[in-house]
Amino acid sequence: MIGGLFIYNHKGEVLISRVYRDDIGRNAVDAFRVNVIHARQQVRSPVTNIARTSFFHIKRSNIWLAAVTKQNVNAAMVFEFLYKMCDVMTAYFGKISEENIKNNFVLIYELLDEILDFGYPQNSETGALKTFITQQGIKGQHQTKEEQSQITSQVTGQIGWRREGIKYRRNELFLDVLESVNLLMSPQGQVLSAHVSGRVVMKSYLSGMPECKFGMNDKIVIDKQGKGGTTDDPGKSELGGSGKQSIAIDDCTFHQCVRLSKFDSERSISFIPPDGEYELMRYRTTKDIILPFRVIPLVREVGRTKLEVKVVIKSNFKPSLLAQKIEVRIPTPLNTSGVQVICMKGKAKYKASENAIVWKIKRMAGMKESQISAEIELLPTNDKKKWARPPISMNFEVPFAPSGLKVRYLKVFESKLNYSDHDVIKWVRYIGRSGIYETRC
Amino acid sequence: MTDSKYFTTTKKGEIFELKAELNSDKKEKKKEAVKKVIASMTVGKDVSALFPDVVNCMQTDNLELKKLVYLYLMNYAKSQPDMAIMAVNTFVKDCEDPNPLIRALAVRTMGCIRVDKITEYLCEPLRKCLKDEDPYVRKTAAVCVAKLHDINAQLVEDQGFLDTLKDLISDSNPMVVANAVAALSEIAESHPNSNLLDLNPQTINKLLTALNECTEWGQIFILDCLANYMPRDDRESQSICERVTPRLSHANSAVVLSAVKVLMKFMEMLPKDLDYYGTLLKKLAPPLVTLLSAEPELQYVALRNINLIVQKRPEILKHEMKVFFVKYNDPIYVKLEKLDIMIRLASQANIAQVLAELKEYATEVDVDFVRKAVRAIGRCAIKVEQSAERCVSTLLDLIQTKVNYVVQEAIVVIKDIFRKYPNKYESVIATLCENLDSLDEPEARAAMIWIVGEYAERIDNADELLESFLEGFHDESTQVQLQLLTAIVKLFLKKPTETQELVQQVLSLATQDSDNPDLRDRGYIYWRLLSTDPVAAKEVVLAEKPLISEETDLIEPTLLEELICHIGTLASVYHKPPSAFVEGSRGVQHKKLTARAGSGESAESPDVGLSGPSEAPPAVIPSQGDLLGDLLNLDLAPPTATVPSVQPSMQMGAMDLLGGGLDSLMGDESDTLGGDIGGSPSMGGGLGVAPAAMPAALGGAPAVGGGLGDLFDLSGGVGMPTGSYVAPKTVWLPAMKAKGLEISGTFARRGGIIQMDLSLTNKAMSVMTDFAIQFNRNSFGLAPAGPLQVLTPLSPNQTIDVSLPLSTSGPVMKMEPLNNLQVAVKNNIDVFYFSCQYPISMIFVEDGKMERQVFLATWKDIPNDNEALFQIKDIHLNSDAASNKLQGSNIFTIAKRTVEGQDMLYLSVKLTNGIWVLAEMRIQTGNPNYTEMELSIKCRAPEVSPFVFQCYELVLKN
């Protein structure tokens, strides 16, 4: 199990050091600093073995978090724990920075004592932790016995992510379907790989212990229902279950509140949500993805000292919708001496420090086309190595889900309190963003 | 509230000041002081001098202050054991506190204080806390048992905490269950035989129920524990698999990977024809792909594991090639791992895509990555034959870029392609030679030299090229020196007239001016060879090289199986068994996959199980008795999760021994001496390390003995009489098919030499002359060791008997059936082809008697699914007679014992290529009409087993 946990600043000074196991000595702190933080070479692996001691590290801005062990631990668990620890810290004091960590070191030690026992991760849901560990010192002195046992049963209980007795005057929930669409396209316009990784983020402000059920246009569910319908009403099922209406989900993962065995057997998503914001599910699709933009590059080398670049982008969605924050990044060779750009729309600039032409367009409607052309002057070099031609990348945001996912319903049942599904105010929003959206040139 | 100020107190006299503050009456001031102490502790200052003052602050009702003091105590108690006792009272009192959070805090902290005197006081409070009414306290106490065990294992056992811990597995609270499981698993690891985690269907059921309810971390503990369970039958494994699969949708990657581990392990026990088996395989792919959208560090862990999974079950991800394409912004460690998996998944179907990607990668910035990409192109060429040509042209394109490290890497892989596809791509040599000057890395230089030497006859200025290398001979690395030596000797053998001076120069450089023993040895061997028998030298140095294997980089199967059992853990990240990086006893147990018990043998296993280890009679071999019992145990008892390590240290030793031995055996299986020397530069050291293996490899006369003198004494050995069974001659080539030539023959092994006894009969009308014989490639590399000696012309109706000595150093190719041999015989009339099958006992070598120790270790080491069972009926022999008879055919009895009126023989056989075949034979004694013998054969190459069985049967029946 995890033998110790260290947090360093960018210089390698220790900010937090907590040792859980006897086999980890004080010298481990220095070993990591010398061999990893101060290493001359760039780090080649997130797991480092130094003198039979293994170090796992992640970085958040310029802060290093390292877990150390001498045993054959579950490596995936260690990293998951490190991420979780960052989440917990962020939930308590915001951004993970040297200053924040120094300001809250007592709190961090307290948290580390609670969420890691003898190197075994314990309940680390902020919802539960905040009931008994706070920045204003510890509650507990003035609690009644009932309150205390409520805390402990929540921390150890089946529904560790939600406390009882939550009340809202207005029951409200927000669903955000956030997708990032990833593309790798060949210069000839052939899709080399494309996938959407999506997240359904929920903000719930619901009273009591509501039982929720979430439904989307998952092909498997729709087909199942479609089959049921065929016997009575063939016409209707055709409408409901046709290809465009439903999407094939390659895989999905859920927040721990979702009953996985129920999803496995019935493919229904039911859960008691945590209070506030959390990520309900993640999913991945690869079929029938709407690629919001197409990039058509044309690069021509004119002699040894000049490049001509022309890039056309085409928007490929309903004309009534508007894409935002469009940015096309066209890499330029390292020996570029000057660039002249002409673009029909938006603004384009050559950024020498980034070795790229950055073309920004604020808004663009669907089914439109725009173009940029640039002449790049090159310095003559005797470098034999050819320019690697990194791909042209794109950023954008569109108000729909490129995977085609639709939320069908989110039902709320709370039997003990007197509000029904109809009383809950629900909001749904779809945002599609570019992930790694690249076209080779 | 800003606490950062505590980090900046670095004045002199600080300790003194702190001391004063700690003893202050004001609560706030005290708290501030303790915080300063903790801050100093964090940055590594020694504040142990303040121990008594800090401990004095302990008795407070301010929980925050209390926690800080506890933190201090955990750090310094060990250095001040006597003072630490002062804290005991407070702990004991806190363990009785009405607030469960405080009770838990006390027991949690107390377990972290590693002072003997304190642990004594810990027992009573711990016992109470383990039965506390509050689950939060129980779950903390469960972990505390593991802490205490780490400090004083005996105490934990004496106090009966282990039983209490076991009871907690049935606790109503899922988190208590999970922590109890974690604690028990850890304790069990240091007591391999304690049977602590007595997993049975009932406990498994409890765990599976808790799995649905506990935290993500608890799920990991439970899944990791489940992976150690061994289901009784395939129905149980299926039902566990069904209940574990929902975890594949968990957001926590570690839960997913641990679930994958359980499934990969239990799948092994499912019958492959089961529908569910196929369903399960399909369910595994999507979650594995999803892991690749996690954070980069987790991606790395996932990719290292996928690398293992793909080797074990390539079918799972064979259609998912695209997800492993490298993204421009991936961290380098993710890129390198993806590349590895791409090569593993490369097949004819996707090779075009893969190559296009690899070519793209070869133009990237990171040197390591580019090198690996170039190397990957070469590996694709070797793996997918259809792509070889495209790969070669891609590599040539890359060489044209003139980027130094790309060129060097390309040359190294092209050398391998030459070896894999001889006489196909040599036209590119000219292009390669152009880049000779830019090579500055030993591996690339050695590869280039190998190419020049190998194709010396096609390169006009080969001698000049090699000579240019020779100038700086002593500055080269060993790898290059060895290669240069071999290449020049090759050149000399091919063009003896012009290069005599060169060869003398290199031999003297290697033998007289070098202090590297490997180089000197190789030099002397060449020198002797060349001076005594140039023909033999040619045979050795220019021998046909064995094919290089497609997947040289595959993980060795037993290690792979062990690593599969460690999916998700550090072992799977390092691709090393835990024993390689974990100190002490923990985690050293070797885990193994256990395959489903064969359906055929199930009928007889129950009664054998009864007569097995429980009442093993005094063994025939006293000193080995217990180990033999152990062997029986392993063989016949129901499959167990781990090897019962009765004598762990000893077992380890034996395994290591075997490991080393096997490696060297494998070495001479795949490479003859000639191949070795002339072969890949990466094997440059081969000659130095394998003097013992040399004679065997050289002449195909295994175990003739050491000494160079014997080396070429191939056909000289007159067969010493052995009792080996020789089958009567059968007609292999009827006269009808061969224009009147009839060939009948058989095989015999005389004095360690395989001989093909042929009778050639001329049934035609004319005289036959000019006989010659040749073999096609075959499974064991059989080849004529000399020409077919038919000295006189064969007149019509005449029969000549000839004996053709065979060597086993010929080219190897697996035949179907394994012992098939395709022969071509030529005479003045025509060439005729026929095929015959040789009894596999021909290739049983004389030194096939294994050490007992090694036998036991090997038997255990070979996976159970490599075991094959056979029956031999109607045999009228007792065990001694059988043993004698078998010995005549180089099947050696290692040990014999009698169990319940049955004689058991343990036998070993070694094949010419170094493969060992082990067997256990059961013979019923006392009955004069023995009707059957049971034979179970274990071998690393299970396809050999049926043929070995045939030999047993043949030998015993004749």
CATH at residue A342: 2.60.40.1170
The mean pLDDT value for B158-185 works out to 91
Q: Where a domain ends, among B804, B821, B838?
A: B838
The mean pLDDT value for B516-532 works out to 90
Q: Are residues A9 and A118 in the same domain?
A: yes
pLDDT of B211 strictly over 50: yes
Dig out the tokens for B611 from the structure: 């007569």
Does residue A349 sit within a domain? Answer: yes
Q: Round to whole Å and give the CA distance between A101 and B490.
A: 68
Minimal Cβ distance to A72: which of B70, B102, B569: B569
Contacts of B329 in chain A (CB under 8 A): 436
Does residue A81 sit within a domain? Answer: yes
Minimal Cβ distance to B42: which of A105, A137, A251: A105
Q: Are residues B852 and B779 in the same domain?
A: no
DSSP-assigned states of every residue in A228-242: HHHTT-HHHHHHHHS
Domain of B856, CATH number, reads 3.30.310.10
Give the pLDDT band (50/70/90) at residue B662.
very low
Domain of B818, CATH number, reads 2.60.40.1150
pLDDT of A269 strictly over 80: yes
Q: Are residues A89 and A189 in the same domain?
A: no
Predicted local confidence at residue A420, as pLDDT: 87
Q: Are residues A80 and A110 in the same domain?
A: yes
Contacts of B246 in chain A (CB under 8 A): 260-261, 263-264
Q: B621 to chain A nearest CA, in Å? A: 39
Does residue A234 sit within a domain? Answer: no
Q: A166 to chain B nearest CA, in Å? A: 21
Dig out the tokens for B292 from the structure: 């690749």
Domain count, chain B: 3
Contacts of B111 in chain A (CB under 8 A): 118
Helix (H, G, I), strand (E, B) or coil at B868: strand
Does residue B510 sit within a domain? Answer: yes
Q: Round to whole Å and give the CA distance between B587 and A71.
A: 8
Q: Are residues B783 and B861 in the same domain?
A: no
CB B406 within 8 A of CB B374: yes
Does residue B665 sit within a domain? Answer: no
Q: Where a domain ends, among A110, A132, A154?
A: A132
Tracing tokens 């032409």 back to the chain, one arrives at A357
Does residue A76 sit within a domain? Answer: yes
- Of B92, B49, B93, the C-alpha closest to B72 is B49
Domain count, chain A: 3
pLDDT of B119 strictly over 90: no
Q: What percent of chain B has pLDDT over 70?
A: 82
Does residue B277 sit within a domain? Answer: no
Number of residues that make up chain A: 441
Q: Across-strand partners of B867?
A: B938
Does residue A199 sit within a domain? Answer: yes
Q: Where a domain ends, among B815, B838, B861?
A: B838
Q: How far is the CA of B288 from the CAs of A56, B256, B259, B951, in angstroms?
A: 21, 8, 11, 47
Q: A18 to chain B nearest CA, in Å? A: 8
Does residue B751 sit within a domain? Answer: yes
Does residue B38 sit within a domain? Answer: no
Number of residues that make up chain B: 958
Q: Round to whole Å and give the CA distance between B382 and B632.
A: 43
Q: Are residues A127 and A38 in the same domain?
A: yes
Dig out the tokens for B206 from the structure: 């409890």
Q: Are residues B906 and B950 in the same domain?
A: yes
Predicted local confidence at residue B659, as pLDDT: 37
Q: Are residues B852 and B780 in the same domain?
A: no
- Of B559, B635, B632, B568, the C-alpha closest to B592 is B559
More confident position, A154 or B542: B542
pLDDT of B118 strictly over 60: yes
Task: Return the H-helix or E-strand segment holding B882.
Answer: helix B879-888
Q: Are residues A282 and A429 in the same domain?
A: yes
Dig out the tokens for B289 from the structure: 């792909």
Q: Across-strand partners of B801?
A: B759
More confident position, B912 or B670: B912
CB B874 within 8 A of CB B931: yes
Residue A388 to residue B213, Cβ atoms within 8 A: no
Q: Is the peptide bond before B271 cis (omega within 30 degrees of 0)?
A: no
- The 10 Å Cβ neighbour count of residue A40 is 4
| Chain B CB within 8 Å of residue A179 CB | no
Q: How far is the CA of A186 from the CAs of A109, A368, B767, in angstroms?
A: 51, 22, 71
Residue B67 to residue A391, Cβ atoms within 8 A: no
Q: Are residues B768 and B847 in the same domain?
A: no
The mean pLDDT value for B129-138 works out to 92
More confident position, A117 or B898: A117
Give the pLDDT band (50/70/90) at residue A144.
confident
Q: Round to whole Å and give the CA distance between B115 and B120.
A: 9
CB A111 within 8 A of CB A93: no
Q: Are residues A19 and A127 in the same domain?
A: yes
CA-only gyration radius of chain B, Å: 35
Which residues neighbour B423 within 8 Å (Cβ) at sequence distance 6 or greater?
A: none
pLDDT of A242 strictly over 70: no
Q: What are phi and psi of A97, to 5 degrees?
A: -135, 165
Q: Round to whole Å and give the CA distance between A127 and A132.
A: 10
Residue A74 to residue B569, Cβ atoms within 8 A: yes
Predicted local confidence at residue B724, as pLDDT: 63
pLDDT digits over B2-36, tens only? 667 677 655 556 788 888 888 888 888 888 888 88
Q: How far is CA A289 from the centre of its chain?
A: 19
More confident position, B442 or A163: B442
pLDDT digits over A65-98, tens only? 999 999 999 999 999 999 999 999 999 999 999 9
Q: Are residues B814 and B878 in the same domain?
A: no
Tracing tokens 């997800």 back to the chain, one arrives at B323
Residue of B nearest to A122 (CA): B217
Give the burial class of B470: count Cβ atoms within 10 A of its Cβ; 0-12 exposed, 13-18 middle, 19 or more buried: middle
The residue type at A147? E
- Of B578, B593, B567, the C-alpha closest to B303 is B567
Q: Where a domain ends, among B808, B838, B868?
A: B838
Does residue A163 sit within a domain? Answer: no
- Of B495, B478, B765, B542, the C-alpha closest to B673 is B542
pLDDT digits over A307-353, tens only? 899 999 999 999 999 999 999 999 998 888 999 999 989 999 999 99
Helix (H, G, I), strand (E, B) or coil at B720: coil
Q: Are residues A189 and A303 in the same domain?
A: no
Give the pLDDT band (50/70/90) at residue A296.
very high
| Chain B CB within 8 Å of residue A69 CB | yes
Q: Are residues B854 and B949 in the same domain?
A: yes
Predicted local confidence at residue A214, as pLDDT: 94
Predicted local confidence at residue B958, as pLDDT: 74
Average pLDDT, chain B: 79
Q: Are residues B828 and B861 in the same domain?
A: no
DSSP-assigned states of every residue in B375-428: HHHHHHHHH-GGGHHHHHHHHHHHHHT--HHHHHHHHHHHHHHHHHSTTTSGGG
Q: Round to whole Å and give the CA distance between B771 and B223.
A: 69
Give the pLDDT band (50/70/90) at residue B551.
low
Contacts of B179 in chain A (CB under 8 A): 117, 120, 122
Give the pLDDT band (50/70/90) at residue A280.
very high
More confident position, B683 or B118: B118
Residue B569 to residue A120, Cβ atoms within 8 A: no
Domain of A70, CATH number, reads 3.30.450.60
Dig out the tokens for B867 from the structure: 């075991």
Predicted local confidence at residue B673, as pLDDT: 37
Predicted local confidence at residue B11, as pLDDT: 57
Lowest-confidence range among A376-390, B113-127, B220-234, B842-856? A376-390
Give the A:B interface size as CB pairs under 8 Å: 290
Q: Are residues B763 and B743 in the same domain?
A: yes
In a mutational test of the A interface, the residue from B328, B334, B370 whose CB has the highest number of chain A CBs within 10 Å is B328
The mean pLDDT value for B590-610 works out to 50
Does residue A165 sit within a domain? Answer: no
Predicted local confidence at residue A121, as pLDDT: 95
Does residue A306 sit within a domain? Answer: yes
pLDDT of B644 strictly over 70: no
pLDDT digits over B781-793, tens only? 888 888 888 777 8
Task: Return the H-helix or E-strand segment holding B957.
Answer: helix B945-957
Residue A36 DSSP label:
I
pLDDT digits over B338-368, tens only? 999 999 999 988 998 899 899 889 888 888 8
Domain that holds residue A178: 172-225+245-288+403-439
Does residue B734 sit within a domain? Answer: yes
Q: Are residues A316 and A426 in the same domain?
A: no
Q: Round to whole Å and give the CA distance between A36 and B330.
A: 20
Q: Are residues B847 and B815 in the same domain?
A: no
- Of B678, B656, B514, B508, the C-alpha closest to B580 is B656
Q: Are residues A412 and A334 in the same domain?
A: no
Contacts of B245 in chain A (CB under 8 A): 264
Helix (H, G, I), strand (E, B) or coil at A340: strand
In a mutational test of the B interface, the residue from A122, A178, A286, A287 whose CB has the highest number of chain B CBs within 10 Å is A122
Predicted local confidence at residue B723, as pLDDT: 53
In a mutational test of the B interface, the residue from A2, A71, A330 whose CB has the highest number of chain B CBs within 10 Å is A71
Give the pLDDT band (50/70/90) at residue B596.
low
Q: Across-strand partners of B802?
A: B758
Q: Round to whole Å and give the CA distance between B605 and B936.
A: 12
Predicted local confidence at residue B616, as pLDDT: 38
Give the burial class of A400: count Cβ atoms within 10 A of its Cβ; 0-12 exposed, 13-18 middle, 19 or more buried: buried
Half-sphere exposure of B713 (CA within 13 A, CB side): 17
CB B240 within 8 A of CB B209: no
CA-only gyration radius of chain A, Å: 27
Q: How far is the CA of B952 from the CAs of B705, B723, B907, B919, B921, in angstroms?
A: 27, 14, 11, 10, 10
Does residue B765 sit within a domain? Answer: yes
Q: Round to whole Å and give the CA distance between B343 and B306.
A: 13
Residue A138 to residue B139, Cβ atoms within 8 A: no
pLDDT of B812 strictly over 70: yes
Q: Are residues A66 and A23 in the same domain?
A: yes
HEC string for B890-923: CCEEEEEEEECCEEEEEEEEEECCCCEEEEEEEE
Give the pLDDT band (50/70/90) at residue B766.
confident
The mean pLDDT value for B444-457 works out to 90
Q: How far is CA B759 from the centre of its chain?
A: 47
Domain that holds residue B852: 843-957
Q: Are residues A205 and A279 in the same domain?
A: yes
Is A386 annotated as contributing to ligand binding?
no
Does residue B849 sit within a domain? Answer: yes
Q: Are residues A269 and A202 in the same domain?
A: yes
Which residues neighbour B404 within 8 Å (Cβ) at sequence distance 6 or greater?
A: B438, B440
